[in-house]
Amino acid sequence: MIGLALLLLLGGLGLVLIAEALLARYEVLVYAAGWRTPTISRPEGMSYARGADPDRPPDAYLVYLDGIGKRRFHDTRDGGRLVKALINRAPELRVLGQVQPYSPLAVPLADRPVWTWVRRRIGLLLFLHNVMQIFVAADRRYRPLYNRAVGAQIATELQVAGYRPDSGIPVVLLSYSGGAQVASGAVNELWAQLRTPLWLITLGGFHNGANDITHAQHLYQLTSAGDWIERVGTRIFPQRWRLFRWSGWNRADREGKITVHRLDPATHIGPRSYISPDARLPDGRSHLDRTTDTVLALIRDRLSLAADSDGPLP
């Protein structure tokens, strides 16, 4: 009896997976065909950027690309903690957290009638949908379109938030988990549209390593031995293996563009995650504090290096 129930459950889950995998590329299709224009509309009262005073140029723009929990313009619970901590401690940055990494049309899942119905009944499907979007973004056939769509979305958000092309103000793409796939994919489009000095910071980055990040000045990989989800990404995607010397990731690595920073013993998710305000380190700081400190130290070091040199940084 239990065996039959399990079989039915697995069968049902299998069918849902198949349906979701086949429908996942629908949004990219709509974008590619030009049937709908990506939206930049906001909920009432929501600002286009937070942090530094919009009346004067900030030291840098920071765009936060969240993990698979992102389904509305507003911050997720965990991602929101990190964004708030960054805004509180770095008044010199303008922070954008409303980018929809898993929607080429920039439409949050929570705003779609079908998904509202699904969320009330099978909330897990929203996560599954966003996971599938990561795989669509990683697929050789769909990747160029997906990258262009999300890159254009970020470029538009930045310009609406006051960024001017060729201004030379750095843009930092801070990505968590699957957001790394989207962040690395957005590099070329951002460069094409804004010619911005671009820095990437991945936090437990889950990505396939195929994207060309030539136009990014540097990528900081924040990781931990306790992060098995990031480790899965390094193993299941061949472009992350040393063997694939000419993948975007390995080329960037050979050019010295990737620096690893360890945040042991943090985990990817859960009560001991990178963004946990409760898990404590021996020095008394929470994991969230340390992650925030690390991100801000990297940005400020980079800014001071940029101030000291006229040319592009290594």
Residues that bind other proteins (CB under 8 A): 18, 21-22, 24-25, 28-29, 32-35, 132, 135-136, 138-139, 141-142, 144-145, 148, 188-189, 191-192
Output 9 or 18, the one with its CB closest to other proteins.
18
**Cβ at position 249, least distance to other proteins in Å:** 16
Output 94 or 207, the one with its CB closest to other proteins.
207
**Cβ at position 137, least distance to other proteins in Å:** 8
Output 34 or 282, the one with its CB closest to other proteins.
34
For residue 209, the SS3 value is: coil
What crossing angle do the helices spanning 179-194 and 124-138 adopt, rounded to 10°?
50
**Cβ at position 141, least distance to other proteins in Å:** 5
**Cβ at position 129, least distance to other proteins in Å:** 12
For residue 96, the SS3 value is: strand
CB 214 within 8 A of CB 192: no
Q: What share of the chain is helix, strand, coil (3-state, %, to 5)?
A: 45, 15, 40
Output 192 or 297, the one with its CB closest to other proteins.
192
Output 144 or 277, the one with its CB closest to other proteins.
144
Dist. CA 174–CA 153, nearest whole Å:
16
**Cβ at position 45, least distance to other proteins in Å:** 35
How many Å is the Cα radius of gyration of the chain?
Answer: 19
CA distances from 245 to 12, 160, 231, 254, 265 (A): 40, 39, 19, 9, 30
